[in-house]
Amino acid sequence: MAIRQDTIIAIRKNVGGSEKVLRIANVNDKYQLCTYPADPEQEIDLKNHRWGHYFICGYKGYHEYAKTKGVNVGEPVGLDILVDGTVPTGSGLSSSAAFVCSSTIAIMAAFDVNFPKKEIAQLTCECERHIGTQSGGMDQAISVMAKTGFAELIDFNPIRATDVQLPAGGTFVIAHSLAESQKAVTAATNYNNRVVECRLAAVVLGIKLGMKPQEAISKVKTLSDVEGLCLSFASNHGSSDPVLAVKEYLKEDPYTAEEIEKITGENLASVLGNSPSSLDVLKAAKHFKLHQRAAHVYSEAKRVYAFKDTVSSNFRWVIISFAPPAGGVMVLHV
């Protein structure tokens, strides 16, 4: 679901100057003016992170997508951009997705172009990958497709959202610990590391559940791709929980690269398609928590559907959630 905090962008074409540049300013003095060439083909300097990079993600992504749709983007023009926002940065509330989505929509408005929400959701997901994070698309999808009074059940391939009406008078408390994690800066050790671990867990599960290694490497991209195999395994053992296959085939101790390569018959760089962001993860990682990632993804997915069923049932319910001193979350259902 989306929250009320937002990112707002004012934009105008600047066709008077001889130099075609993108000037990106912020209402908050914390963020200094950023300037970039008005060039959709420019590469983002990932080694020197600047807040304006997120606008360039939207700028590049818009031009790439517009061309695939046959839109005449014309010659590049200068743009003046002013950004304001109330989403806490680095808090886990998708401030980067909010920025990229609003940037993309602002650029569309500047060039008098519009795309359906589903296409914008997919487009903005791909936009953010320009900054080096392997985004899955959930944050962008809800930023674009949210509705007041509803949560959205997001599915992919193709992207779609199912309305889940929230109970009247229901209250959701989002607490900010004030700790920040800049995911683009720490991607190789945090955000992208988890994406790589999920991909490797899916490939290993596929092989353990009967796929040939090369088939798993070429076809399996996410844990969703092997969920059917996990469910079949669970069904054969009197269960409907895909985590049963995780417990059977993925050890709880972290895997080394050598252990995974022995299972796949390929070096990890090749398994991951030699993508630059994945290679950065491999340089930084000493081990991979495959069991923990797969178990978390499948159990979280189960809780999502349980939540949908609960709020759709019209029963009186309350959820009390708090973080104990040792970390983690405790949830009480009444």
Q: How far apart are CA 68 and CA 76, in angstroms?
A: 17
Domain 191-296 carries which CATH code? 1.20.1440.340
Domain 7-165: assigned CATH number: 3.30.230.10
Question: Tens digit of pLDDT for each residue in 72-104?
Answer: 988 899 999 999 999 988 888 888 899 999 999
> Domain spans of the chain?
7-165, 191-296
pLDDT at 331: 39
Q: Are 60 and 130 in contact (CB under 8 A)?
A: yes
Whether the bond into 242 is cis, omega within 30 of 0: no
Q: Which of 139, 163, 253, 280 is catalytic?
A: 139
pTM: 0.84
User: pLDDT 10s digit of each residue in the chain, 334 long?
Assistant: 888 899 999 999 987 767 899 999 999 999 999 999 999 999 999 889 999 999 999 999 999 999 999 999 888 999 999 999 999 888 888 888 999 999 999 999 999 999 999 999 999 988 988 988 888 888 899 999 999 999 999 998 888 899 999 888 888 888 888 888 777 677 777 888 999 999 999 999 999 999 999 999 999 999 999 999 999 999 999 999 999 999 999 999 999 999 999 999 999 999 999 888 899 999 999 999 999 999 999 999 999 999 998 888 865 555 444 444 433 343 333 3
pLDDT tens profile 298-314: 999 999 999 998 888 86
Q: At residue 168, what are phi and psi to the nearest 5 degrees?
A: -60, 130
Residue 139: active-site member? yes
